[in-house]
Structure 1
């Protein structure tokens, strides 16, 4: 190599080093790209300074889900150092008592490993305000506490109010937040309210609840939590459909025979008698979880994944849903009777503590719906949910039509069923594709096989809990995964006529605990020449 060539190499090396020193980092390049989704995982979404006020801190939801999720967010570095948590409940507690409750909940239920340094930082921002919802003095004290937290921890007047309380208390809590002035902050700050389902018990009550909240908070500041929408597999429905060209061309009436959406539980009502009786399976699950799943499965592709675009497409589907003409033949309801679950004897619904013997509340509901649009005309959607069923499972099964012509003898394909794409929401999150394959051997025999994708095997990182994602979305102000009031009302318009019909039919049909529901549900499918999937 000549001296001249060596000199050129040295100059190029110096120039490269200089360019590397001044080149933007990956984060800077991503941030500078106006086309980059700000939710890109290379730029973790971190909440800004804020206070989360949690009403109902002594309930199961707070202890088992919300408090552990807050810790997990902190453990993942997604909460700011000054993040503060205020508990409000009818307890004669001090800050340290609430901190101990939070500590116990975290140790028992957190998804991520316990780290002392994370807990220490989080616990510095834990406060407690005792009082009842009707106690003006308690809410005055809460307002003073929030102002003090702003000064001492730099939370900037940003407050989220999580109403983990029975719906009957929503109006009084919202009114107290308005009276004390904490529902509205100075320019540059935000105030948001989080409401747990149920969003009313029918269309009229849903509208009444919305009128109460909208009188205090604008719609953009109302976050209605449907925790199913925070599950990774539910979000994967959109990725599966719109990120792949494999499925969308056959995602229509030309190829799909029917769709089954199931949420089965193997438990009874537990200690929820006061809430569950009078509500029932359809209001508790179908009106929100299952109709939201139906909308995601059936909607057209949105122009983007921002909140307004997603909501528009889901609302189009819900508006197009049609009820069957004969509700007696196209719906089923039941309630679990005494039986066996997991090898143990269990009591029936009306024998549960707190349930009246003459209750007519259902613990199982199944309905058939159709969607009146070009994509889905004539394709039935079967929705079912129940308690004390064979096992715990939630799935969406898109069942395809059989091939129009099979060049095989009947004997060669006698155990061949329909192709199906099954999206498993819980407990084993993933996707299964069922299709026909030749059985090894000299003869031509075709039978069903399954090709399986499991989240736990394909991705090294564990999926965050639904409440982690949703709580972070609230604190950031990101609304795509939260139902809008119009979606809530459209869902009630679908369910209300069914509930009104059932109210004229007497008590639900009994089914033994540990089985898959009442005989009427199987009969409903048999009338259409179909069967429920074996789970």
Structure 2
């Protein structure tokens, strides 16, 4: 089972109902657009799945047409090949050449509506923006501002807290029907993350031992060498806990821990993920169940790294963490007593992106075995995509 969810979500061709004619990316000058959305779109085009869409970018930066074309060229060139890709017949070049960029304050009353009025509908609006900005942009819209059949696509984090997430849902439901709203976790677009479902439910080898009788612990780690990379405007207000653990790693944990759904339909998957999360808790003694830190000055691979608080745009008074770790208990029959450790950190000397399932030792080991006594571990790598049984 191989699925590229972020690629599919980036394309209007994949949406149910009337075909999307225009893909409007808000936050087009940001990191998310350059690193993920545009390369994902390029892969879809090469795969023949993008349809005849017009690509429009909008952002707060005063970019020229040449700046936007440079970003498109760089991001499209960075798209990794997809198996089964075909000759796009020049579609990638045509979409790039016809694409435009607009400097606009999407939170200003009427500004986004004016931009939408000049676009061919239906439009897929991809909010590659901080959650607070996305909420303000949606609040500035009226239902009549959107061409019929348009879709709203929002990145995680969805809101800044529970109250703002509920408020954003209310605003969105006023604009379009629920099945025209797409809430995207781009981390789940990693093929290996989604292949966890296939690994568990499409074979008979692992599922019988996928429980507390046989599993000692589960670690879900996303350590990276990347530093802040000019993302202070978003990251310094979020930190590692919100940016990675709350937004992405809890989803991975739920896929690893969930019971088998009856189908892979969105509702069944969502319900089973919700069941796992409702059964999850962190011990209230945070001194033993959590860790947080932030990187200081040093070097990584010979490159100088500044102290986090000295990075451009960082407010030291916020105390933002760049490493977070929590130990989660899933309080149900399958996982009672098994700790799930979730950790993510930036600017670390070693890149480590994997889920590790550590199995309990055998009940009896005959005398005579020699060597290192280490437990059996299943390693599921997120980048590069790997699978190994130690």
Q: Could you say which TM-score interval applies, normalised by the shorter chain?
A: 0.7 to 0.9
- Change in CA separation of 1:104 and 1:241 when aligned onto 2, cut-off 3 Å: same
| Mapped contact 2:276–2:330 kept (Cα < 8 A) | yes
After TM superposition, the structure 1 = structure 2 runs for residues 272-291 of structure 1, keeping only pairs within 5 Å, are 272-291=231-250
- Change in CA separation of 1:413 and 1:370 when aligned onto 2, cut-off 3 Å: farther
Instruction: Name the structure 2 match of 1:387.
Output: 346
CA distance in 2, matches of 1:79, 1:212: 29
| Mapped contact 2:113–2:141 kept (Cα < 8 A) | no
CA distance in 1, matches of 2:97, 2:312: 41
| 1:318 positional shift | 0.5
CA distance in 2, matches of 1:226, 1:405: 43
Structure 2: segments with no counterpart, 5+ residues: 6-11
| 1:199 positional shift | 1.6
CA distance in 1, matches of 2:93, 2:299: 46
| 1:203 positional shift | 2.0
Instruction: Name the structure 2 match of 1:71.
Output: 42
Instruction: Name the structure 1 match of 2:305.
Output: 346
2:385 pairs, out of 422, 429, 434, with: 429
| Mapped contact 1:51–1:159 kept (Cα < 8 A) | yes
Instruction: Name the structure 1 match of 2:9.
Output: none
Instruction: Name the structure 2 match of 1:257.
Output: 216
Q: Deviations over 1:332-377 (max 9, x none)?
A: 1111122231133422222222323444211111111111111111
- Change in CA separation of 1:418 and 1:119 when aligned onto 2, cut-off 3 Å: same
SS of the residue aligned with 1:336? Answer: coil
CA distance in 1, matches of 2:117, 2:304: 53
Residues 1:86 and 2:56 aligned together = yes
| 1:135 positional shift | 4.8
Q: Deviations over 1:452-484 (max 9, x none)?
A: xxxxxxxxxxxxxxxxxxxxxxxxxxxxxxxxx
- Change in CA separation of 1:364 and 1:106 when aligned onto 2, cut-off 3 Å: closer
CA distance in 2, matches of 1:106, 1:380: 40
| 1:75 positional shift | 1.6
Structure 1: segments with no counterpart, 5+ residues: 1-38, 40-44, 150-156, 435-535
Aligned residues: 372
SS of the residue aligned with 1:304? Answer: coil
| Mapped contact 2:113–2:146 kept (Cα < 8 A) | no
| 1:98 positional shift | 7.3
CA distance in 2, matches of 1:325, 1:63: 39
CA distance in 2, matches of 1:131, 1:325: 45
| 1:324 positional shift | 1.5
2:146 pairs, out of 168, 171, 183, with: 183
TM-score after normalising by structure 1: 0.64
| Mapped contact 1:67–1:105 kept (Cα < 8 A) | no
Instruction: Name the structure 1 match of 2:99.
Output: 126
Instruction: Name the structure 2 match of 1:160.
Output: 124
Q: Deviations over 1:135-194 (max 9, x none)?
A: 556445423322xx3xxxxxxx42211111222222332134326x24361xxxx22111
| Mapped contact 2:232–2:312 kept (Cα < 8 A) | yes
TM-score after normalising by structure 2: 0.87
Instruction: Name the structure 1 match of 2:177.
Output: 218
CA distance in 1, matches of 2:199, 2:371: 31
| 1:325 positional shift | 4.2
| 1:262 positional shift | 0.4
Q: Deviations over 1:235-270 (max 9, x none)?
A: 110000000000000000110011111010112212
| Mapped contact 1:53–1:87 kept (Cα < 8 A) | yes
| Mapped contact 2:222–2:344 kept (Cα < 8 A) | yes
- Change in CA separation of 1:384 and 1:89 when aligned onto 2, cut-off 3 Å: closer
Residues 1:365 and 2:334 aligned together = no
Instruction: Name the structure 1 match of 2:21.
Output: 50
| Mapped contact 2:353–2:381 kept (Cα < 8 A) | yes
